[in-house]
């Protein structure tokens, strides 16, 4: 059989990635990437790699994003050349802003086929621009045999600087792709490369090859561990200033820990993963507008990326407030022009400011929202008075038949979710309702709030489900989103029949269009017909037929009792739960 330098290089690269802690790879079919694809499938067959196949590269990238979000480990996504590579951009942008480690392995034409009108060839080096921590345009495997080889295939971008043909970091000759894995993993984990130190992000390996593009081979690898960052000395915060802790998307439990240590009020978005603990502030929007509380804040310590309220953004933009941001994403928060970015924080010994904390906690308790159904009238149900008994029965029937609105929907999903589950919020109207009314609960929460787009929400949720349920772990992943967010990512519903389906419930609040625009300026400035056509985009899609087409179990529920039953019934596989909502 004809030898294939591309196959040898692909096998070595993937084995090296596995040796540096990579466990998952998402693959989209293509011709130019066939060496990588065959090596990945062989490694999966030998148990060294979990491979997830998706025909749509955009879906593949967001699936990888979900896998990496949940696991914290770099996840590779492989695609062919041309528009396939371009389809990775939305997930790459989200990964950059959210600090998620992705490895983008894009197959490419060799240098002599670039810029000459060759089929399925475009400008792939640098295609992801500033959104990657490291870009390497690798050499063509076996390139030493070609006298016309140029430095177009030997370019490294690290901190937006090109390494030319003499760059020692770029291997040459028959080992063209060796050494790339170690650099890629370290950069994806924020251990080197452009951007904030210690902040994860995407890495792009552009991998050109010449024919023969593949050869059959049995590929093996020895799994290894990902590199770990050295311990960072935290910035020690004094107790003096009147302080609040703000937890945005991807903050995690660190925010609650600092709040507890400092005795400071915790303002935690529903997507933060920090919305729990005894210092959690309820109704924080109103309290931030209160001059006796929000108006007196002298320091704000920020974890993650806050995006759900104008009140938090206004606080962080105040120049007189000392804002300290614990780095999480590729773009540092600096709304007031003087925010300090730090890698870690701690609190100096001493007593908390009880008056400051007490004022916040007292105001917070008055704003707790209780969406629990009223307890049954036991006295009335067993009364000897038939009229009183009838009234009690009617009240019970009304409670059972209660129509689901947005507040009831988010409350039901929140109550059904526990620490072994995962909850994913789409960037729909529902996440803002949830942020306003839900209380504290220590459950793992995810959302694509790096750029707060509706892109790839279903695919991200599937990736999170696959990662959280790996190796037989229990739990259900629930994705709560609006109808337009579902339709924007409908291709993600296509799951391979030969891969185990995750336990996932996609819960669709269907109000027939994009009513999130009700709260924006355009709702009061545009004509009703223009608002409908350009923003609300009513659709009339029959979701049950969509579910049937993709082989997902489907339920439509409209009452609280039916919703509770649907959410808590065992989910053996992919399921769509549609909840009709009023416009």
Collapsing DSSP to helix, strand or coil, 230 comes out as coil
**Is the predicted pLDDT of residue 159 greater than 90, yes or no?**
no
* Confidence bin at 420 (pLDDT 50/70/90): very high
Helix (H) or strand (E) holding 61: helix 57-71
What is the DSSP track for 387-413? HHHHHHHHHHHHHHTPBP-HHHHHHHH
Residue found by looking up tokens 């086929």 in the block: 113
**Is the predicted pLDDT of residue 166 greater than 50, yes or no?**
no
Average pLDDT, the chain: 90
Return the half-sphere exposure (C-beta side, CA atoms, 13 A cut-off) of residue 47: 1
The pLDDT tens digits of the residues spanning 286-316 come to: 999 999 999 999 999 999 999 999 999 999 9
Q: Could you tell me which residues are beta bridge partners of residue 29?
A: none
Q: Which residue has the higher pLDDT, 169 or 423?
A: 423
pLDDT score at 527 = 82
CA distances from 195 to 96, 129, 152, 539, 546 (A): 10, 13, 25, 42, 42
Q: Which of 343, 347, 321, 345 is nearest to 334 (CA)?
A: 321
CA dist 353 and 568 (Å) reads 43
Domains 235-365 and 406-580 share a fold: yes
Q: What is the CATH number of domain 5-208?
A: 3.40.50.970
The pLDDT tens digits of the residues spanning 10-63 come to: 999 999 999 999 999 999 999 999 999 999 999 999 999 999 999 999 999 999
**Is the predicted pLDDT of residue 157 greater than 70, yes or no?**
no
Region at 449 (left for phi over 0; alpha for psi -120 to 50; beta for the rest): alpha
CA dist 412 and 296 (Å) reads 36
**Is the predicted pLDDT of residue 173 greater than 90, yes or no?**
no
Q: Which of 552, 370, 548, 406 is nearest to 480 (CA)?
A: 406
Q: Which residue has the higher pLDDT, 119 or 297?
A: 297
User: Where do the structural domains in the chain lie, given as residue ranges?
Assistant: 5-208, 235-365, 406-580
CA dist 463 and 469 (Å) reads 10
pLDDT score at 2 = 63
pLDDT score at 194 = 64
Per-residue H/E/C for 109-121? CCHHHCCCCCCCC
**Phi first, then psi: what are they for 478, rounded to 5°?**
-110, 130
The pLDDT tens digits of the residues spanning 458-511 come to: 999 999 999 999 989 999 999 999 999 999 999 999 999 999 889 999 999 999
Residue found by looking up tokens 């992919």 in the block: 574
The pLDDT tens digits of the residues spanning 242-263 come to: 999 999 999 999 999 999 999 9
CATH 1.10.10.10 fits 406-580, yes or no: no
Dihedral sign for Cα 281, 283, 286, 292, please: negative
Q: Which of 99-108, 185-194, 474-483 has the lowest mean pLDDT?
A: 185-194
pLDDT score at 381 = 78
Q: Which of 28-42, 125-139, 143-157, 182-196 has the lowest mean pLDDT?
A: 143-157
- The torsion defined by the Cα of 181, 184, 186 and 192, in degrees rounded to 10, comes to 140
Q: Which of 432, 439, 452 is nearest to 411 (CA)?
A: 439
Collapsing DSSP to helix, strand or coil, 163 comes out as strand
pLDDT score at 397 = 74
Token pair of 280 as six digits: 């959690």
**Is the predicted pLDDT of residue 171 greater than 60, yes or no?**
no
Architecture of the CATH domain 235-365: 3-Layer(aba) Sandwich (3.40)
* Confidence bin at 175 (pLDDT 50/70/90): low
**Is the predicted pLDDT of residue 516 greater than 80, yes or no?**
no
pLDDT score at 570 = 73
Helix (H) or strand (E) holding 134: strand 134-137
Q: Collect all residues with Cβ–Cβ distance below 8 Å to 282 and sequence separation of at least 6.
A: 364, 365, 367, 368, 369, 439
pLDDT score at 152 = 42
Residue found by looking up tokens 């590929």 in the block: 219
pLDDT score at 482 = 95
Mean pLDDT of 449-457: 95
CA dist 159 and 103 (Å) reads 17
**Is the predicted pLDDT of residue 205 greater than 90, yes or no?**
yes
CA dist 314 and 334 (Å) reads 12
């Amino acid at each position: 059989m004809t030898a294939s330098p591309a196959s040898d290089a692909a096998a070595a690269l993937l084995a090296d990635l596995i040796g540096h802690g990579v466990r998952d790879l998402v693959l989209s079919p293509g011709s130019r990437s066939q060496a990588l694809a065959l090596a990945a499938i062989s490694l999966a067959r030998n148990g060294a790699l979990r491979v997830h196949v998706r025909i749509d590269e955009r879906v593949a990238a967001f699936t990888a994003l979900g896998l990496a979000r949940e696991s914290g480990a770099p996840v590779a996504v492989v695609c062919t050349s041309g528009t396939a590579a371009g389809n990775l951009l939305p997930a790459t942008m989200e990964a950059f802003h959210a600090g998620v480690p992705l490895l983008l392995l894009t197959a490419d034409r060799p240098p002599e086929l670039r810029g000459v009108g060759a089929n399925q060839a475009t400008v792939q080096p640098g295609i992801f621009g500033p959104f990657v921590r490291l870009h390497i345009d690798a050499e063509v495997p076996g390139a030493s045999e070609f006298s016309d080889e140029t430095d177009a295939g030997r370019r490294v971008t690290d901190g937006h600087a090109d390494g030319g043909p003499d760059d020692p970091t770029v291997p040459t000759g028959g080992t063209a792709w060796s050494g790339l894995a170690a650099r890629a993993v370290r950069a994806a984990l924020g251990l080197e490369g452009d951007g904030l130190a210690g902040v994860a992000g995407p890495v792009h390996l552009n991998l050109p090859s010449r024919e023969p593009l593949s050869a059959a081979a049995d590929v093996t690898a020895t799994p290894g561990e990902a590199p770990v960052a050295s311990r960072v000395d935290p910035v020690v915060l004094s107790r003096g200033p009147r302080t609040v802790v703000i937890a945005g998307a991807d903050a995690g439990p660190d925010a609650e820990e600092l709040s507890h240590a400092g005795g400071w009020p915790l303002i935690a978005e529903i997507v933060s993963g920090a919305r729990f603990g005894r210092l959690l502030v309820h109704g924080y929007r109103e309290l931030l507008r209160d001059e006796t509380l929000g108006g007196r804040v002298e320091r704000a310590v920020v974890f993650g990326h806050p995006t759900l309220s104008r009140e938090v953004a206004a606080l962080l933009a105040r120049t007189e407030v000392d804002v300290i941001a614990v780095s999480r994403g590729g773009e540092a928060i600096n709304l007031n022009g003087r925010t300090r970015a730090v890698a870690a924080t701690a609190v100096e010994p001493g007593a908390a400011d009880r008056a400051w904390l007490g004022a916040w906690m007292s105001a917070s308790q008055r704003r707790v929202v209780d969406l629990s159904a009223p307890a049954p009238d036991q006295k009335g149900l067993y009364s000897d008075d038939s009229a009183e008994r009838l009234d009690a029965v009617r009240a019970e029937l009304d409670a059972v038949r209660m129509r689901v609105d947005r507040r009831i929907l988010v409350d039901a999903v929140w109550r059904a979710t526990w620490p072994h589950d995962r909850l994913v919020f789409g960037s729909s109207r529902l996440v803002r309702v949830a942020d306003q009314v839900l209380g504290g609960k220590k459950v793992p929460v995810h959302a694509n709030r790096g750029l707060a787009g509706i892109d790839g929400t279903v695919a991200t949720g599937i990736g999170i489900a696959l990662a959280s349920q790996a190796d037989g772990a229990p739990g259900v992943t629930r994705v709560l989103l609006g109808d337009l967010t579902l339709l924007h990512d409908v291709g993600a519903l296509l799951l391979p029949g030969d891969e185990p389906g995750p336990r996932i419930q996609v819960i669709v609040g269907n109000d027939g269009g994009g009513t999130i625009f009700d709260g924006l300026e355009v709702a009061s400035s545009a004509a009703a017909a223009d608002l409908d056509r350009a923003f609300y985009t009513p659709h009339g899609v029959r979701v049950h037929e969509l579910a049937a087409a993709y082989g997902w179990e489907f339920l439509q529920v409209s009452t609280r009792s039916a919703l509770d039953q649907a959410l808590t019934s065992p989910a053996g596989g992919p399921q769509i739960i549609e909840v009709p909502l009023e416009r």
